[in-house]
A and B are shown apart, each in its own frame.
Chain A
Amino acid sequence: MATDSKELAGLVGGKYRYGFVTDIEEDRVPPGLNEDVVRLISAKKNEPEFMTEWRLKAYRQWLTMTEPTWAQVSYEPIDYQSICYYAAPKNPDDAPKSLDEVDPKLLETYDKLGIPLHERARLAGVAVDAVFDSVSVATTFKAKLAEAGVIFCSFSEAVTEYPELVKKYLGTVVPRADNFFAALNSAVFSDGSFVYIPKGVRCPMELSTYFRINAANTGQFERTLIIADEGSHVSYLEGCTAPMRDENQLHAAVVELVALDDAEIKYSTVQNWYPGDENGVGGIYNFVTKRGDCRGANSKISWTQVETGSAITWKYPSCVLRGENSVGEFYSVAVANNYQQADTGSKMIHIGRNTRSTIISKGISAGHAQNAYRGLVRIMPTAQGARNYTQCDSLLLGDQCSAHTFPYIEARERSAHIEHEATTSKISEDQLFYCRQRGLSEEDAVNLIVNGFCREVFKELPMEFAVEAQNLLNVSLEGAVG
């Protein structure tokens, strides 16, 4: 596998690859937040009245809330009035209808990112919705999906085209005032993806969204809603990158998943927001609320995440296991290098009978980083026969970093079966020497061992993204050992 090794070596030698800025005209509102800004955002998107009202209610609730402080992270207070809440690539009234209308510079950006909007997408069989700063730029493969009855479009489009579906499901998994950042998102969310899979349909391709923060001093607040109707099946992937900037940028997204009877949603994330430089300057604050509702019997929601970016990550993809026999899964690799801070994990709320959940969390800390797993397993009195298996493994590279584990377990039903396993290990000198004696360089040996550590999670990723995730990991840990 020296071909791979060569590529890896190239990657390892590189810096953050996605740190470029695209110079395009932007339509943006001035920094600051008040009811007028919320109305302005809603107006810019030609939203119906119900949506504007929904936003305003969220904003008013947000004003009464305080930022959470319980996470194992520290940062300077955020000045919410200095953030710009809406920035969109030019043409304000008429969003591009097809790829031909998209600014070529924008397409160039996606090329640099390696996102295959046209040909490569077709080859890969991936439908891509690309969210640039706040606006969804183009959704490919709409036609082919429409044949199957699948709706895959930007959130803005869904609000105007499918208002009934949006009204019915928006905020039913993550309520407006769920938490401080979710409330902020509900007030100012700019765009995101919307997916509806009709009854009995198996989505014919992987759906994918790439998020990109380009503009300076901008927050990104995307909102994603996926509904899998009875007996349907969908696999969805999101990827994220941002330019290198000295100041911190806020990203507060909300993702809601709804799985009805016998439906299955697989949601994968490769998160590579700019993590800041090696001294901890700059980087994205990734404060995200992701939750899936297994509303129907025998439904299943599976989260897989590979988190290598962001200065600070605050994120707990969760499953509410309401339907009988429903299944929730969470597979996570979280890497923190240099001065990155991660407080991430999952929540599994067992409500229905015979509900099952699995949490596999792999945390890797290097440099001066802090990496915390925080997870909640709650078995409600109605959840007879519920089962959970949790495994939290931490790998430390170097002696300046730290790993923490905060598992919360609440069992209110006697028949619950809960298992929790946790390990902390370091890459040993013995392992490195063994690999080097067989001919691998030290860097390749580290990558080999780290990838081995993460294998249980990587094998849950769609094939083509598993490779990307592995490469990302190696870049992220550049210089972490030696």
Chain B
Amino acid sequence: MLVIDSLHVRVQDRDILDGLSLSVGLGEVHAIMGPNGSGKSTLAQVLAGRDGYEVTAGRIEFLGEDLLALTPEERAHAGLFLAFQYPIEIPGVNNAYLLKAALNAQRHARGEPELDAFEFMRVIKDNMKLMQIHEDFLSRSVNTGFSGGEKKRNEILQMLTLEPRLAVLDETDSGLDVDALKIVANGINSLRDPQRSMILVTHYERLLELVKPDHVHVLAHGKIVRSGDHTLARELDERGYEWIEQEAQSA
């Protein structure tokens, strides 16, 4: 599904990723953990094609294609979804409008017929129920005046509706209380599928209690310094990140 091969990324003259390699197979859920400033969010942004992140070396292959050659919207059409750490506010544009425009743009790119308003409502109704989102939410402006929890639930609603092949969730658990975290985790779990892969970028272990990853990786100083199964996440929770960083440095 996704192969990242010794990726080097520079942001504003600073090297952030320094030879990162990662391979995500079909249907797998990978967690990327690491201390602040280790490059986790940079990885998410580079995957989605954000401007200002300069890839100085390495390559990324997504479903057999050169991901770095695609525009952000082409990556979306190919099935890549990024749940933003800080979802963006768009005053005046309502949620339903953006989501329907996005879904139809993707369907159009794939040569599928576009959905009209009724079909669209049918598609999102169950998703809204799952995310415990009230109907009046659809007519509110995108993320405008939303609480932190509402914004994150909205990201997952979009993900459920767009049904990506690869979902990258950037610190989706940050700023959530226990109840909201459960709702978000439910949403993510409902999308687990042998045909779909996920990358969960997170600082804490608590999301991984609810969404069990197949693989856990620790990112430090721009590269993956250790990989394991979900027990690694627990170990990190107990011991912190320092010991791994020290090990990596001495090695």
The residues of A with any CB-CB pair to B shorter than 8 Å are: 1-6, 428-431, 433-442, 444, 448-449, 451-456
Contacts and interface: CB of A to CB of B under 8 A. Distances in A.
Contact of B93 (A430, A441, A449): A449
23 contacts: A1-B100, A5-B101, A5-B105, A5-B108, A429-B51, A430-B88, A433-B51, A433-B72, A434-B87, A434-B88, A437-B49, A437-B72, A437-B75, A439-B73, A439-B103, A440-B73, A440-B101, A440-B102, A448-B93, A448-B101, A449-B92, A452-B92, A452-B93
B88 A454 contact: no
A3 B91 CA distance: 23
B93 A438 contact: no
B97 interface: yes
B92 A1 contact: no
A85 B94 CA distance: 48
B211 to A, nearest CB: 21
B76 A452 contact: no
A423 to B, nearest CB: 9
Contacts of A440: 73, 101-102, 105
A373 to B, nearest CB: 18
Given A437-B82, A448-B93, A1 B51 contact: no
Contacts of A452: 90-94, 141
Given A2-B114, A438-B158, 10 more contacts: A1-B105, A433-B50, A434-B88, A435-B102, A437-B49, A440-B73, A448-B97, A448-B98, A451-B92, A452-B94
A2 B103 CA distance: 9
B88 to A, nearest CB: 4
Nearest to B75: A437
A428 B91 CA distance: 12
Contacts of B121: none
A431 B92 CA distance: 13
Which of A3, A437, A453 has the largest count of B CB atoms less than 10 A from its CB?
A437
A434 B88 CA distance: 7
B98 A437 contact: no
B114 A454 contact: no
Interface in B76-116: 76-77, 81-82, 84, 87-94, 97-109, 114
Contacts of A441: 73, 105
Given A2-B107, A429-B51, A438 B102 contact: yes
The 5 lowest CB-CB distance pairs between A and B, nearest first, are A452-B92, A452-B93, A438-B102, A2-B108, A2-B104
Contacts of B162: 438-439
Contacts of A454: 92
Contact of A3 (B88, B90, B92, B114): B114
Contacts of A436: 49, 71-73, 76
B159 to A, nearest CB: 10
Given A1-B101, A429-B51, A444-B101, A439 B87 contact: no
B48 interface: yes
Contact of B92 (A2, A434, A444, A455): A455
A6 B141 CA distance: 24
B77 A439 contact: yes
- The residue in B72, B81, B114 that gathers the most chain A C-beta atoms within 10 A of its C-beta is B72
Given A2-B108, A2-B114, A431-B90, A437 B76 contact: yes
